[in-house]
Structure 1
């Protein structure tokens, strides 16, 4: 009997366990988790912070599931070493667990910059972090979020939605600079400002204080500006040598994530930024795989849900021999912002210029709208869609499948125009992928509905749609509602 050991019980590890067990009831599975308690959907923690979901709603497999499926789950048990010669993992409590196949799903850890007073801040990465932030927010007067990437934006918006004054501090010149160009970052910042988040870009944090954050002198921009130094914004006071202190009695760090690779490195496996794997997600040791945020495939470390779950499916197919040809070829990433009042999707090569590609762009700053298509050789290679737009599904499908574009490019940004493709369930083909994380098409949702899944919860149970990043929920609701309407059934 094959002995499968999984180190890591987060989104990648838990998904692998469920995939393997669904394919083979005989494999002996043991899974170790560094965090105590049930695995949870880390991508939805921002919803917990915002109060739109409870911690229980983002939990995944429970003790009853493990018992029913003959899986030995050891949450809160840390694996400290891999003995490759003996094919065993060693734990902090002295347990030695033998394996035939070992899968590393150790994930990532929050980057905590080496700042004086960093211990006074709370990183936003785990369920424990989320609970600590919510507890502190109950008595906090002001909050500062350090880091204006995806997670920092979601955290700032979530806390502002709870009525807490929030200042978002970001080193780069505009928010989410990895996914957005400068104009999109500016429009996003203005949209957040309208929702109660003060934006300070181009700032350098020097120190975390008991009552705020000290910024380097002469850095930062005022809300609604780009590139110019600003004087103190009114939320802070002047510090030594012209430095500014932004007042905050709760400081949250959202400064990025790094892969957890110590186990692999100590075991002599190849590690670059992450644990180096091939198209089978296999390391240099043929009995050891790596998936999720800790894995580096073809020079890329993926930090989103969909790639981790695609990788888990590949490894499950190989380990159970149900798909010996399974290979991972990389993922086409679509970043969706989960923040109430802000709609954002960004994908592909968004930073190319007119000299490098055909650019189609529309901006309406006062309405918080920015739309951009990046086209090369007649194919969509990148896009930014900020603000409410019915074009998200159509554009995402064109990017995902690489199909030829219509001659009327503007029709893609404005689906109501001639030549545009409206994104309603009526016009959406059955092959359209609705849930990117779980590869669920409209046709599959229709099939589930016809089999009796008449609401979103039932569709989610049957297909896993909406259980990844959650951004497809509105689309799934629209399809289910449309199907019910066609048959005269109350949704």
Structure 2
């Protein structure tokens, strides 16, 4: 018996899951359908800044194709409604897609700040920076000398500013925080990122809030700051973070908080529905980074394969009747989500065993808990210790990596090396003989060893702490 797996979302997480399931169709009885809202084949969102800078074409960032027939990945198809009673996804093109298991990989939307001058639609010349279409529209709008303002100096805003500068635009960055990338970096590292951008000709304003957009005839002409000063602009990029796309799940009555709430098996409050990637909230965390999304896809693929092996059709070990309402389904469901997220990044870690997740709002298990099939221990997703990494390529390339806590607490040991001439900076934070955080800019030769040490959460060896930041044992 073939199990119908429908994945809503053809981003990195959804495509990874589909590739994991599709190659073994002869041994794993799955019929996989991916519904992708974008017209493009699945692509690597982490590399969009490279496309904007002109270093890569859109074809270069395409992900490996999902095996299967022409209907496996349906491009340009938007899912509008989930009927959990009949286990059917209804799409904007009028089609209805039945499922045995549904996977929500709906990703996230860019946050549009509450700026004056945005009344229902963005003026011409104002661009979010989230999708390949956003990227291509920006590339078409920018030429040498174009006055471009980037609103937001986080990881995504810094990437966009660098790429626009490489295209020859006159770029200004406005950022509310005291330092660039202050969510991930300490002030010293943020200052080096600022210096790097300024050396490329980018004008940077921190502790500076954008209040509104000026436009004439529906086309943007400037960005008004909180102090009343207006930055002239022919092009504005909104890089103010992302928010999980949870509307489809909330409308279907699934539990939504910051993201779509899932347990260690990536199940939502409906045992037939899973969520992975930027839209998923696991143990109170929405990651918004690439590696956690891919790890979640891998764990879910393993779980679906195990269920298929046990039940023959990839179904839960205990199957309620179609349309039945479980105890978890009957609980009140929040209808909206709050903002969260970051830009791109990578990560390390992720465990495979844990106790069932508890619903802290109700004090009861978040999902019905059917007995697991006998045999080897089932995979579990227990979280990812995420390493944020940004590579600003091209001439004068500049690499940034950060993990854990960027700032020390009282009593922590801090080891720091700085080379102002080369623009290199390395810092780690040690607490009770454990590595709890680090920031590296410029030379990232030690980042792999540091990230593994941090992810393993093991006691550090009794060697001078300087050894952590050098290639030669501290000599």
TM-score (norm 1): 0.76
Rounded Cα–Cα distance in structure 2 between residues aligned with 1:254 and 1:66: 36
Q: CA deviation at 1:394?
A: 2.1
Specify which of 360, 371, 375 is matched with residue 426 of structure 2: 371
Cα distance in structure 1, aligned partners of 2:449 and 2:299: 27
In structure 2, C-alpha distance between the alignment counterparts of 1:275 and 1:397, rounded to whole Å: 29
Residue aligning to 2:168: 163
Structure 1 residues 436-464: Cα deviation after superposition (integer angstroms, max 9, x where no partner) = xxxxxxxxxxxxxxxxxxxxxxxxxxxxx
Q: 1:21, 1:50 → 2: CA distance? A: 34
Per the TM alignment, residue 364 of structure 1 is displaced from its structure 2 partner at its CA by 3.7
What is the CA distance between 1:127 and its match in structure 2?
0.3
Equivalences for residues 309-458 of structure 1 within 5 A: 309-321=294-306, 325-340=378-393, 341-353=397-409, 355-406=410-461, 407-418=463-474
Stretches of structure 2 lacking an aligned partner (at least 5 in a row) = 215-219, 310-375
Distance, in Å, in 2 between the alignment partners of 1:4 and 1:393 is 36
**Which residue in 1 is equivalent to 2:43?**
40
Q: CA deviation at 1:94?
A: 2.2
Q: Counting helix residues as a fraction of each chain, which structure ranks higher?
A: 1
For residues 416 and 197 of structure 1, what CA distance do their matches in structure 2 show? 36
Change (3 A) 1:73 1:389: closer
CA distance in structure 1 between the aligned counterparts of 2:76 and 2:158, rounded to whole angstroms = 30
Partner residue in 1 for 2:293: 308
Summarize deviations over 1:34-84 as a string: whole Å, max 9, x none: 111211111110111112211100112448x442xx752211111111111
Q: Residue in 1 aligned with 2:187?
A: 182
Task: Judge conservation of contact 1:24–1:320 (CA < 8 Å) in 2.
Answer: no
- Contact 1:145-1:152 at 8 Å conserved across structures: yes
In structure 2, C-alpha distance between the alignment counterparts of 1:308 and 1:277, rounded to whole Å: 13
Q: 1:89/1:324 Cα in 2 relative to 1: closer, same or farther (>3 Å)?
A: farther
Q: Tell me the distance in 1 between the aligned counterparts of 2:468 and 2:411.
A: 21
C-alpha contact 1:276 1:296 (8 A) present in aligned 2: yes
Q: Superposition pairs for residues 128-277 of structure 1, below 5 Å?
A: 128-138=133-143, 141-209=146-214, 210-217=220-227, 243-277=228-262
Cα RMSD (Å) of the superposition? 1.8
Mean Cα deviation higher: 365-374 or 300-309: 365-374
The answer to whether residue 345 in structure 2 is matched with residue 290 in structure 1 is no
| 8 Å Cα contact 2:109/2:242 also seen in 1 | yes
8 A Cα contact 2:143 2:169, kept in partner: no
Q: Which has the higher contact order (CA 8 A, sep 6+)?
A: 2
Q: Distance in 2 between matches of 1:59 and 1:124?
A: 18
Q: Tell me which moved more, 48-57 or 208-217.
A: 208-217
For the 8 Å contact 1:23–1:320, the answer to whether it is kept is no
TM-score (norm 2): 0.79
> What does residue 76 of structure 1 align with?
76
Deviation at 1:366, TM superposition (A): 4.5
- Aligned counterpart, 1:234: none
Cross-structure match for 2:345: none
> Paired residue for 2:322?
none
Given that residues 181 and 351 in structure 1 are in contact (C-alpha distance below 8 angstroms), is that contact kept between their aligned partners in structure 2? yes
- Report the alpha carbon displacement of residue 21 of structure 1 after superposing the two structures with TM: 1.4
SS in 2 for 1:20: helix
Structure 1 residues without counterparts, runs of 5 or longer: 218-242, 420-491
Please report how far the alpha carbon of residue 112 of structure 1 lies from its aligned counterpart in structure 2 after TM superposition. 0.9
Aligned partner of 1:430 in structure 2 is none
d(CA) in 2 for partners of 1:410 and 1:197?
Answer: 34
